[in-house]
Structure formats: structure tokens, C-alpha cells
């Protein structure tokens, strides 16, 4: 009889829980101090000595741990056999865990904080840095937890890189991942002694399932007749390794059982995270790259350095690029901001412009200024450019981060001793 995913059910909504799981991993990923080092060692001590006893004492409640402990707890749960054994050694019972959405996590965290302060009034609930008077440098020699949590933390940092792409949050992708996870369990049931290797879409659902240890035990015992363990320490991808041999075996069995390829687009190994290999962008780099849009009011301008020749007429043009159209090639479209004509006397006094325009740095970050002079009369006159400049607006717009606007007054050189003094907001 052919396998049908509808024949297999779980005691929780794994698709929705996977979204909460991704949210949590994203939060941890931003906390560089939790990627390894003494902060993690401190978190492990807090987890074993303080948190597990507290959670076991209040096992009738859904408690959420502070972030450093929650991260260590998360990594411990991903080896179900070691987790159950270690819990028994530390507190004499297995402690349940659930992954919650952000709002419920926030509410539960407050309850946990109250209970923590009642039990441990001298120890901060949130980690107060990697160095603490409470930190025991000899703890590793007396720990009751057999699982190597420091190594597990390092592996899970790499796991998040694999599942951090946007499509892992797509409903259709997750629905298919859930179906493939059911097939994965069915394959394990048919071949209990084979080391089955999942793709990352399956692995995300599997990890999420293990983060609910009571539900996970109930479901896997119901399906497989035993607690299905997970070992993420098998990560050697060299030819002939256990991982590569098992991957080939899994592909063969999957195709034979389900008559479909095992590989799934968007769910395969992406390579190692590029930490330390890519250019690190600071706030200034990011601000220089992002598109900025703002409305500018150019209030006044004055040309400086014009010779006093009453017979010469000048034209001042201010314009900018607004975008481009593609007619088999890029063609920029420009727009006029203001055009002023007049004598040297008129140009060297403050000219009221009151010109509004919307500036978009996606297309350009400068306003062009051209100064032309015309001599002669009517059609016999000659027009020539005597100066030009660029008003670099990006530096001005950069100051708009407060959202309240900025007043600008500046001078720009147009060459040959001529310049433009301007003001605006």
C-alpha cells in the first residue's frame, strides 16, 4: 500500500511553529556574543545550575528562559536522547519546552522573571555580560550534562545560515516541507538501521518538532515505536565520509520508495557561512547605499563673481535626473527645477526661487547647475556656457534621519571665479 502523508499526524502545528523557530534563530543570530566564547560558557552554567531546576519545579507552567539560556536549551533539545538523559541526571525528570510566537514569549518571559527573582534574588535574570562574580571557571569538571553544548552551539549557528533565506517562510514551501518530513519518517520506519540524511527543508521541520520534547517523544514513538534521535555532529562532507555515503543511500531509497527525486530546490547545502570573508558594512556604508527620497524646497540663490557688464544677459538653470526609460538602452529623463534670466545686477542679488522638487537618490544624487550668457540681439545673439557645477544632495539628505528636516546653506564653485550661493530646506 502506497504511503499517504494524510495518514500521519502530529500533536502540534509544525508549520506554524517553524515560523516561530525561524524568528528565534534570527534573534540569536544578531547576538554575536552568543555565537561562542565565555558568554556561552556562562549561559551553560546558568542553564544547568539555575534554569533546569526552576523549570522542573514549575513544570505545570510554560516558562520561557532569558535569551542566553534559551539558546543553550534549544541546542540541547536537538539531541533528544542526550537531553532526556541529562535532564534526569540534573533534576530527576525531563523538562518540557515549547517554542512560542513573539507576543506569547514576551508574556511568558515576564512570568519567568518573577519566579527567577523569587528563587535567585542575587542572580540577574538577564545575562549581565560574560564576566560575572557568579561564573565558575571550574564548572566544566563537575557538570552533569554529558552533551557537548559548546560544540552544539557552533553547529547551530551554521544551521541558521542554511535556512535563513526568505523562501523558508513561504507557506507553500513550508507545507511541502511538512509533507517531505512525513515521508522522511516513513522512510526511517521502513529502514530503521539506515542513517537517513535530510535536506534543509526537512531538517527545519525536524528541529522544530524536537523543540517540543514531550510532543516529539509521543509522535515518534507512535510512528516508529521508539524515540527518534538526531545527531547533527555528522557534518564531514568529504568523499567517502559517513555523511556523503548516507546521503547517496537516502537519495536512492527516496526515489525507490516515493518515485520522486530527494533533492529539493532551495533546500540544499549552501556552503559554509561567509563570516570573515565578506566586507563588513558599517552604518555609514549602509547609509551610502540605500535609496533616499525627500522633498526639497530651494528658497533662494545668488551668483557670485559675475563681471558688471550691463549689456550681457545671463540664464541660470537648475535641473536633475528623475529616472530613466529603457528603449534598448538606458535613457535618463531630466526635470527642470528652476530657470532664471537676468542682468549681472539681478543675478548677484538674492533670487527668490521657492522651487519644490522630490529628490530620489535611486537615480541621481546631484542637482545640476548651468550658467549661460547671451550676447547680441535676437537671432544674431550668441549663447555660451560660462560655468557649471553639481550640488551633491546625498550629504544633505543624509542629515534627514531624524525625520524633522534640515536647513541647508552652501556655496558651490562653477569655475572661472564664478560660484553659486544657495539656501533651502
The low-confidence residues of the chain, meaning pLDDT below 50, are: none
Query: What value, to the nearest 5°, has the Cα angle with vertex 9 and ends 7 and 12?
Result: 170
Are 420 and 301 in contact by the 8 Å Cβ rule? The answer is yes
Q: How far is CA 36 from the centre of its chain?
A: 19
H or E element at residue 420? strand 418-424
Are 366 and 393 in contact by the 8 Å Cβ rule? The answer is yes
Which grid cell sits at 257?
A: 520508495
Under 8 Å CB-to-CB from 415, ≥6 apart: which residues? 387, 388, 389
pLDDT of residue 292: 73
Alpha-helical regions (H) of 280-357: 283-289, 344-347
CB atoms within 10 A of CB 182: 21
Please tell me the distance from the alpha carbon of residue 107 to that of residue 374, in angstroms, as a whole number: 74
Please tell me the distance from the alpha carbon of residue 24 to that of residue 207, in angstroms, as a whole number: 13
pLDDT of residue 222: 96
Are 61 and 208 in contact by the 8 Å Cβ rule? The answer is no
Which string of DSSP letters, residue by residue, matches 192-260?
A: TTS-----HHHHHHHHHHHTSHHHHHHHHHHHHSSPPP--TT----STTSHHHHHHHHHHHHHHHHHSS
Closest to 222 in 3D by CA, of 412, 11, 4? 11
pLDDT of residue 278: 58
Are 75 and 159 in contact by the 8 Å Cβ rule? The answer is no
Under 8 Å CB-to-CB from 217, ≥6 apart: which residues? 80, 84, 227
Pick the CATH number of 289-424 from 3.50.50.60, 3.40.50.300, 2.60.40.150, 3.40.30.10: 2.60.40.150
Are 173 and 201 in contact by the 8 Å Cβ rule? The answer is yes
pLDDT of residue 20: 96
Please tell me the distance from the alpha carbon of residue 368 to that of residue 389, in angstroms, as a whole number: 6
pLDDT of residue 133: 63
pLDDT of residue 91: 97
The CATH 2.60.40.150 portion of the chain extends over 289-424
pLDDT of residue 236: 79
Please tell me the distance from the alpha carbon of residue 55 to that of residue 259, in angstroms, as a whole number: 46
Are 208 and 163 in contact by the 8 Å Cβ rule? The answer is no
Amino acid at each position: 500500500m502506497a504511503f499517504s502523508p494524510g495518514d500521519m499526524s502530529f500533536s502540534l502545528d509544525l508549520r506554524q511553529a517553524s515560523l516561530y523557530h525561524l524568528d528565534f534563530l534570527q534573534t540569536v543570530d544578531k547576538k554575536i556574543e552568543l555565537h561562542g566564547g565565555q558568554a556561552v560558557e556562562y549561559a551553560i552554567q546558568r542553564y544547568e545550575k539555575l534554569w533546569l531546576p526552576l523549570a522542573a519545579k514549575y513544570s505545570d507552567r510554560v516558562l520561557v528562559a532569558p535569551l542566553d539560556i534559551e539558546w543553550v536549551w534549544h541546542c540541547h533539545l536537538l539531541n533528544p536522547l542526550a537531553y532526556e538523559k541529562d535532564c534526569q541526571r540534573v533534576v530527576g525528570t525531563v523538562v518540557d519546552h515549547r517554542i512560542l510566537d513573539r507576543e506569547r514569549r514576551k508574556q511568558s518571559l515576564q512570568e519567568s522573571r518573577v519566579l527567577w527573582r523569587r528563587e535567585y534574588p542575587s542572580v540577574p535574570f538577564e545575562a549581565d555580560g560574560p564576566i560575572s562574580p557568579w561564573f565558575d571557571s571550574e564548572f566544566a569538571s563537575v557538570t552533569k550534562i554529558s552533551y557537548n553544548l559548546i560544540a552544539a552551539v557552533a553547529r547551530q549557528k551554521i544551521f541558521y545560515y542554511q535556512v535563513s533565506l526568505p523562501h523558508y517562510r513561504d507557506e507553500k514551501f513550508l507545507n511541502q516541507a511538512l509533507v517531505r518530513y512525513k515521508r522522511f519518517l516513513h522512510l526511517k520506519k521502513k529502514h530503521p538501521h539506515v542513517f537517513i540524511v535530510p535536506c534543509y527543508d526537512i531538517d527545519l521541520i525536524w528541529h522544530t518538532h524536537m523543540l517540543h520534547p514531550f510532543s516529539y517523544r509521543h509522535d515518534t514513538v507512535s510512528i516508529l515505536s521508539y524515540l527518534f534521535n538526531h545527531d547533527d555532529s555528522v557534518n564531514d562532507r568529504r568523499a567517502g565520509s559517513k555523511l556523503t555515503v548516507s546521503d547517496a543511500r537516502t537519495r536512492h531509497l527516496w526515489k525507490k520508495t516515493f518515485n520522486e527525486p530527494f533533492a529539493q530546490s532551495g533546500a540544499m547545502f549552501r556552503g559554509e557561512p561567509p563570516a570573515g570573508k565578506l566586507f563588513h558594512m558599517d552604518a555609514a556604508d549602509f547609509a551610502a547605499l540605500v535609496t533616499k527620497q525627500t522633498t526639497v524646497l530651494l528658497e533662494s540663490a545668488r551668483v557670485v563673481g559675475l563681471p558688471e557688464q550691463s549689456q550681457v544677459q545671463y540664464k541660470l538653470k537648475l535641473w536633475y535626473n528623475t529616472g530613466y526609460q529603457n528603449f534598448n538602452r538606458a535613457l535618463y529623463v531630466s526635470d527642470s527645477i528652476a530657470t532664471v534670466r537676468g542682468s549681472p545686477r539681478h543675478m548677484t542679488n538674492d533670487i527668490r526661487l521657492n522651487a519644490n522638487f522630490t529628490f530620489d537618490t535611486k537615480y541621481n544624487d546631484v542637482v545640476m547647475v548651468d550658467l549661460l550668457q547671451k550676447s547680441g540681439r535676437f537671432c544674431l545673439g550668441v549663447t555660451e556656457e560660462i560655468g557649471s557645477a553639481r550640488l551633491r544632495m546625498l550629504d544633505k539628505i543624509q542629515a534627514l534621519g531624524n525625520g524633522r528636516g534640515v536647513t541647508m546653506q552652501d556655496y558651490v564653485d562653477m569655475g572661472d571665479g564664478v560660484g553659486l550661493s544657495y539656501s533651502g530646506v
